[in-house]
Amino acid sequence: MTWSDDAWQAVQGTYRLILEHPFVQQLHAGTLAADVFLRYLLEDARYLSAYTRALAMIASRLPDSGDVAVLARSAVGAVEAEQSMQATLLDEHGIDIEASGEPSPTCRLYASYLLAAAATEPVEVAVAAVVPCFRVYAELGNSMAADVAPDHPYATWIATYSDPQFATATAEVEALADRLAKRASSGVIERMDAAYARCTVLERMFWDAVWRNERWPEG
**Could you tell me the residue ranges of all domains in the chain?**
3-211
Distance of alpha carbon 108 from alpha carbon 206, whole angstroms? 10
120 CB-near residues (< 8 Å, 6+ apart): none
First to last CA, the chain: 51
CA-angle at 206, arms to 7 and 59, nearest 5°: 55
Distance of alpha carbon 183 from alpha carbon 151, whole angstroms? 48
At the top level of CATH, which class does the domain 3-211 belong to? Answer: mainly alpha
pLDDT at 82: 76
Segment 40-99, tens digit of pLDDT: 998 998 898 899 889 989 999 998 888 888 887 776 776 777 777 777 777 776 776 665
Q: pTM for the whole thing?
A: 0.93
